[in-house]
Structure 1
C-alpha cells in the first residue's frame, strides 16, 4: 500500500482529507471508461427528475478476509477490474447538469477525462473490527458512516471506497450514488458486473441498456415532477444526532409463513377476501406494524384515532410502462406505492395489526400497478407531500431482488450489507436474508430510546407468532 494505478487510471496524491481521524486514506484513483466514449449527454426522464434533490444512496458491503489473505492483491484486483464495469456503465463517470440553454432540463453529461473515484483507506479502530461492524445489534451510525465515500463536488454521480478494517481481518466496500442517475436495480447491476469482473466469473451479467429515448413522456410528467419535486431538506426526514443507531432485524422463512397464516386466518374471521400476501408484503406489513407500535404506543387505544400512517415504497415499472423497458434498462423506472392504514388498527398487537398492515401494503401495490399510464401519476408528489403533512411517512430503500449477498468479488460473499443513508431518510433498508433461504432482513436507524422500543416490539411480535399455534391447539 499504496498500490500502483493501472495505465488507464490516474492516481491522486495520498493523504486525502478524512472526516474521521480513525480513517487513514492511502490513495484515491480516478477510473475512467476505457476506451473513453465520445462526449455524451443523457436527458433525465420523468422517473429520473423525481429524485433530483434526493440525498445520495450509500451502501456498505462488509467482507471477512482469511488470515492469510493477500490484501495487496485483493486491492489491486478490485482496482484493476473496476474499469470494466465503468466502461459498461459509463454515465456514472460523468455529472448531472442543466442542459445548456435551458432552465429546467437536466442531463447526465460525460466527456473524455471523466472518471469514477476509487478510494483505498484503512480504519484504525480496535473497537470497530469486522465482528463488531457486522453484528445485527444496534451500532453507532458514526462508526460506519466514514466507510462510505462522499460524492465529489460538481454534480458527480458515483464514488467507491475500499476500507481495510482493524487488523486487516475485514474489508468494507462503500458505494455512493446519486439517485437521479439510476435506481437500485441499476446501481446493484453495476456492482454485480464489477464483482464478476474481479472474481473472473465465466458468465458475467448482461450489459446495461443505456437509452433514455426508450421512455417517452406523452403526459408531460417531467414538468409536473420537476415543479413539485421536494427539496433536499424535505427528503432528509431525519436530523441525525450523534448517538444515532442502526440495527438489522431478520425474518426467517418460517416467520414469514406464520405472518401469511395470520393474515389468511384473520381474513376468514372477518369474512373478507384475503389480500395477496407475498413474502415481501408479509415483511413490509410486519415491520410497519412494529414500527408504528414502537413510535406511538398510545395509538392502540382506539382504532382509527389520529392521522392515517403511511408506508411509501418503490415499485419497479420496467415491465409495465408502454412500451415496456428492458429488464436491464439503466436509469430510474420506479414509482411510489402508498400504503395507508388506520393508526389504531396498525399499531394493535397481534392479528389485527398484522392484517391491517399487510392488507394495506397489498392494496397499495395493486393501486400502483393500475396507476401506470393514467392521470393518477400526475399526483404522485402531491400524495407524498400529503403523507408528510400528517406525520413523517415511513419509506423503504433496497429490495431483496437486488441479491446483494451474492456480490462475491473473489474473496467470499458479504458478511453484512447496510444502507447507511437510511439514517438520514428514516427509511427501512430491505434485503434478502444472508443466513436463511427465503428470509428477509430489515435495517432500521433510530435514536437509542426509539431503537429500544422497536427492538422490544419486534421481539414481542416474533414471540407471539411462535406462541400462536400452541395457543390455538
Structure 2
C-alpha cells in the first residue's frame, strides 16, 4: 500500500444494550469443540468498503452508527462481550456481566491509502495495520475482550478489521454475527436470525485444562505469537489471492466428473471436492515434492449437521473438526485429479456422528492443545468457505470491495476460500506458501485453468 501509515485516533468499548445488563451475569461452558483452539491466535477478518461520504465528514457518523449497531447485536451475541474464565475445577467458560468492558473498538485513519490499494494488496503483512490483535493468542481472552474491531478511515472509504477469539466461535458463527450486526446498522429493529447459544447441547463433557496464561500454551505456539507483533522476523511466506471465475470453477468440476464417470465412478464430486483436489495437486507440483514424500490435505469441516442430534445452522460456538487425508505425493501427482478428489470425499463422508464422537472421546481422555499449524507435513489446509455470504455484510454503504483474512493463524499451505465478488459460483482462493513454491504456482497454467 502507498504511504501514509495508520494513525490510531481513539480506543473505546461497546457493551450490549440495557436488556443484557438487566439479565445479570451469564455463563456458558466451553466444550470439546472449542477448547483445542485456545493456543490458536484470534481469527482476523478485514472488510473494505468504498464510500466517499464515509471518507469525508461522514466518518464520525459511520463510527457512531456501527457502535450503536454493535451494542444492539451484542444483546443477542452477548458472549462476544464477555471474557474467558476458569471455574473452580479448571473448566473453561465464557462469561458476561455488566461489569466487563465489552468489545474493543479502535478508530484510526489512513487517509492517504485508497480502497483500491487495499483491495489489490496480496500480502497480509501490509494489511496488518488495519487489523487488531496481531499475534494475540486466544488464551489471552482471560484478560482481553473476545471481540476487537478497528474502524479505519481511508482516502475513499473505510476498512473494518475484526479479531474474534477462536475459542468462542468458528467461521459459520462469525459470519452469522457479521451479517446480523450489518442488518441492525441498516435500520432493522432486531436481527432476523437469533443465535443458538446453548453450546453444551452439542457436547457436555467437562474437560479440565491446566492453562491460565499464554506461557502455559505449547512453547511453539507461544513463541509463534511474536511473529506478527514485531518481536521477531515473520515467517518467510508469500500470500496471493487467485480469483477463479464461475467459468473456471465449472470447468474444473465438469472435467473432473467427466473423467471420473468414464472410469466408472457414477457419484459426482462437489464443487468443494473438485476445487480442493485441483489446489492440492497444484501446490504439490509447486513444492516439487518427491514421489515418496507424504502430503496431507486438511479441511476444517462444519459438524452442525453431522452430530447426533444435529445442531441448528445458528449454533453459536465452534462446531468444526479438522479432517485429515494423508497420502504419498507421487500418488497425488501421477494420478488424475479425481484420485485426490476421491480421497477428500471419502475422508469427509466418513466423518459422521460416530467418528466425531470417537474423536471427542479420545481428546477428552488426553486433551492435547495443538498449535495453529499442526496440520501435517507438506500440508494443504482449507479454512473458511465459499458458502459464507461475506458480500452480504452491508452496513448501509454497500457490499465490501474485498474480504480478506489477517496474518494470524497462517502457515505454509494455509488456504482460505471465499465467494468471488463477481457472484455466482466464482471463488477466491487465498493461499500462503513458501516463496519459491508460490513463484511456480503463479506460472502454473494448469492450475490457473487458462482455457476457462
TM tier, smaller: 0.7 to 0.9
1:149 is aligned, of 121, 129, 132, to 132
Aligned to 2:350: 367
Q: List gaps (5 residues or longer) in structure 1.
A: 1-19, 467-473
CA contact (8 A) 2:89 2:208 kept: no
CA contact (8 A) 1:275 1:362 kept: no
Q: Secondary structure at the match of 1:282?
A: helix
Aligned to 1:451: 438
More displaced, 202-211 or 281-290?
202-211
Aligned: 1:414 with 2:400: yes
Aligned: 1:88 with 2:48: no
Aligned to 2:45: 59
Quickly say closer, same or farther: Cα 1:212–1:261, change in 2 above 3 A. Answer: closer
Give the length in aligned residue pairs. Answer: 423
CA contact (8 A) 2:296 2:376 kept: no
1:176 is aligned, of 159, 163, 167, to 163
Aligned to 2:61: 73
Aligned: 1:241 with 2:234: yes
CA contact (8 A) 1:40 1:109 kept: yes
2:246 is aligned, of 253, 261, 274, to 253
Q: Secondary structure at the match of 1:51?
A: helix
Q: Secondary structure at the match of 1:85?
A: helix
Aligned to 1:196: 183
**Deviation of residue 339 (structure 1)?**
2.6
Deviation string 1:260-298 (CA, Å, 9 cap, x unpaired) is 2222233245x3425541111122222222122112x25
Q: Secondary structure at the match of 1:327?
A: coil
| Alignment partners' CA distance in 2, 1:260 and 1:225 | 46
Quickly say closer, same or farther: Cα 1:52–1:463, change in 2 above 3 A. Answer: closer
Matches within 5 A, 1:26-425: 26-35=9-18, 36=21, 37-66=23-52, 70-99=58-87, 101-103=88-90, 105-114=91-100, 115-124=102-111, 126=112, 128-135=113-120, 139-150=122-133, 154-165=143-154, 167=155, 169-201=156-188, 204-217=191-204, 222=207, 231=218, 233-234=220-221, 241=234, 244-269=237-262, 271-274=263-266, 276-295=268-287, 297-299=288-290, 302=291, 305-307=292-294, 309-348=295-334, 352-369=335-352, 371-372=354-355, 374-378=357-361, 391-421=377-407, 424-425=410-411
**Deviation of residue 332 (structure 1)?**
1.1
**Deviation of residue 372 (structure 1)?**
4.0
| Alignment partners' CA distance in 1, 2:347 and 2:219 | 26
RMSD (Å), alpha carbons: 3.2
Aligned to 2:230: none
Quickly say closer, same or farther: Cα 1:123–1:139, change in 2 above 3 A. Answer: same
Deviation string 1:15-56 (CA, Å, 9 cap, x unpaired) is xxxxx9922111122111111141121111111112121111
CA contact (8 A) 1:147 1:163 kept: yes
Quickly say closer, same or farther: Cα 1:262–1:377, change in 2 above 3 A. Answer: farther
Deviation string 1:223-272 (CA, Å, 9 cap, x unpaired) is 6999xx98373596996637754321122222122222222233245x34
Q: Secondary structure at the match of 2:377?
A: coil
Deviation string 1:155-184 (CA, Å, 9 cap, x unpaired) is 43111111112x2x0211011011111111
Quickly say closer, same or farther: Cα 1:407–1:339, change in 2 above 3 A. Answer: same
More displaced, 231-240 or 399-408?
231-240
TM, length-normalised to structure 1: 0.80
Q: Secondary structure at the match of 2:99?
A: coil
Aligned to 1:429: 416
| Alignment partners' CA distance in 1, 2:326 and 2:242 | 23
| Alignment partners' CA distance in 1, 2:127 and 2:220 | 22
| Alignment partners' CA distance in 2, 1:465 and 1:188 | 34
| Alignment partners' CA distance in 1, 2:408 and 2:282 | 18
Aligned to 1:15: none
| Alignment partners' CA distance in 2, 1:278 and 1:186 | 23
CA contact (8 A) 1:250 1:441 kept: yes
Q: List gaps (5 residues or longer) in structure 2.
A: 228-232
CA contact (8 A) 2:80 2:146 kept: yes
Q: Secondary structure at the match of 1:324?
A: coil
